[in-house]
Amino acid sequence: MLLQRGADPRAEGGQPVDGFLGEPQTPLILARKRGDTPVTRALAGAAGEGSEPAGRSGGRERSVTSGPAVEVSEDTLAAALARAVAPLQRSADISRANFLRHATRQDCVSCHQQQLPASAVGLARSRGIPVDEAALRRQLDLLVRDAGLSREIDLQSVFHPEPVIGASYSLMAFRNSGREVGGVVDGYLHHYASVQSPDGSWHRNMPRPPLQTSDVAATALGVYGLRHFEVPAEREAQRERIERARRWLLSAIPRTGEELSYRLLGLRWAGAESRDVQAAVEALRADQREDGGWAQLPGLGSDAYATGHALYALMEGGGVSASDSGVRRGLAFLLQTQLSDGTWHVKRRTFPFQPPMESGFPHGADSWISAAGSSWAVMAMSVALEPVLAGTFRRVPALTTTGAVQPAATAQAGGRSADAEVAQVELAVDFDRDLQPVLDRSCKGCHSGERPKGGFSTESAAEVMRGGHRGEPVVKPGLPEESLLVQVMQDRIPDLEMPPLTQRSKYPALTPSELSKLKAWIRRGAPLAGKVAAAR
């Protein structure tokens, strides 16, 4: 109806959010976050575009496994877990420090950087995977502190922006890690009782997909807390609340991968009859893709978040064996898509309402959801292994067929190797001569003057290195692939492509040669001026 009356799907509007680097969003950009849907196709057609912007696949997104088929075995799973826990633990510490240093001084814990990673690391440790014990203890202490700080709010039963989901993830971390917390969780459980709806459900108040966007998830996690952290004096009341939640979950119609998985888990935790649990198992099985993974939404491709969560739900909630063919296909998908640094990349689809802050986890603006997705992948692979005795560690073999992208073979061009050409570029690059004119052409229109977009100016090397309002560097000297400046200029982060896709007729994207020079400058330490004198 809006399109018939002349609405422009490319119109920019809304308050610019720093999460978009100050770039106003269009209806088409926002619709694409849900993948290839009828709404996306209608808007794209009216805009004279395909449903996917240039450089992305059209139609329903398909995940691409990045390596050959891998063997799913105790050894391959253990090795993948050993690689995965380290970046999760590093990020839990780094993100905490960076959040406090940020201009907003956010003194909080997060489900994506602290609670879910602690839960995943604790579960991996129970399967004999070596972890950094001191780092895990620091994070659990932080969660205990957070529970204490929220106690006054919990006991007053006043509005809380997220009363159940985050608290339940803390409880899951305590339980998976074997942390004794005593009465510190009583405030959480009191709040659960106070905010449960008369129909038995819990409501999520802060819709940030996929972690906090579902009443099904909130209800299942409310049941988790009441089931596993019983208050003796409230035993009968807690059972009655669980029973009301069970009835609500039975009537709920799941619409996303998150809801399919949590409905199954919630029914199991609520003590539902076996036939109801089995029906939820079959519904989740039916959502598995040909590549072995699961997707968050029908129009999106498989990813580690949805796949790890689904596998965890099938095994932990549905009692499905790790030897089941569907489970093994899902585990193979995770093994194939794990990157060489031990992480999984998951694309965000939320609409930012706060500035993204550097978390210490890879994947730029997708780092928060990638940490959560990597946590679910770790939990899925952990429950596929048998627990071991405390203090016992598995043998963790080297794993060569991880599905990580392998270095390309040396190419010959005019008698010289590709490596030699790269070295030559790195020796010759000069910021003022080679990069400043490029940035002036493609970036200066928005990122210059007294009030550059996002507080980020490209008027000099010093300004580039200073970063913007986000309070974090966009260049990491020596690490071009981890530098946000490179990631956005390579169109690796949806909705943060630079220059913006909609403005490239005016501000052209960098050419491959220009990108190579930018990477070379960063790789050699990002000197502020002058040629790089030292040889490789």
Q: Do 312 and 375 contact (CB within 8 A), yes or no? A: no
Q: Do 136 and 92 contact (CB within 8 A), yes or no? A: no
Cis peptide before 499 (omega within 30 of 0): yes
Residues found in the chain: 536
Mean pLDDT confidence for 318-328: 96
Give the CATH architecture of domain 74-383: Alpha/alpha barrel (1.50)
pLDDT at 5: 93
For the segment 422-435, what is each residue's pLDDT rounded down to a tens digit? 444 445 788 999 99
Q: Do 79 and 72 contact (CB within 8 A), yes or no? A: no
CA torsion angle 179 184 186 190 (round to 10): -120
How far apart are alpha carbons 97 and 107 in whole angstroms?
9
pLDDT at 374: 98
**Burial profile 457-494: b = 16 or more Cβ within 10 angstroms, e = fewer:** bbbebebbeebbbbbbbbbbeeebeebbbbbbbbbbbb
> Is the confidence at residue 440, as pLDDT, over 90?
yes
pLDDT at 150: 66
* Phi and psi at residue 100, to the nearest 5°: -70, -30
How far apart are alpha carbons 375 and 370 in whole angstroms?
8
Higher pLDDT, 125 or 34: 125
As a whole number, the mean pLDDT across the chain is 83
Segment holding 442, helix H or strand E: helix 436-442
> Is the confidence at residue 11, as pLDDT, over 50?
yes
For the segment 97-124, what is each residue's pLDDT rounded down to a tens digit? 888 877 677 777 888 999 999 999 999 9
pLDDT at 405: 31
* HSE value, Cβ hemisphere, 13 Å, CA-based, for 346: 34
pLDDT at 415: 40
Say how far residue 72 (Cα) sits from the centre of its chain. Answer: 24
Mean pLDDT confidence for 115-136: 95
24-33, 468-477, 502-511, 524-533: least confidently modelled range: 524-533
At 315, list the tokens: 């095994």
Q: Do 77 and 331 contact (CB within 8 A), yes or no? A: yes
Mean pLDDT confidence for 209-230: 93
User: At 399, which amino acid appears?
Assistant: L
How far apart are alpha carbons 243 and 456 in whole angstroms?
54
Angle between helices 367-383 and 116-126 in degrees, nearest 10: 20
Mean pLDDT confidence for 209-232: 92
For residue 157, name the pLDDT band (cuts at 50, 70, 90): low
Q: Do 338 and 402 contact (CB within 8 A), yes or no? A: yes
Share of the chain above pLDDT 70, in %: 82
- In angstroms, what is the C-alpha Rg of the chain? 24
For the segment 65-74, what is each residue's pLDDT rounded down to a tens digit? 455 678 999 9
For residue 406, name the pLDDT band (cuts at 50, 70, 90): very low
> Is the confidence at residue 488, as pLDDT, over 90?
no
Q: Spell out the domain ranges in the chain.
A: 1-59, 74-383, 412-523
Mean pLDDT confidence for 278-283: 98
> Is the confidence at residue 359, as pLDDT, over 50?
yes
For residue 356, name the pLDDT band (cuts at 50, 70, 90): low
| CA distances, 297 to each of 209, 254, 321 (Å) | 11, 11, 26
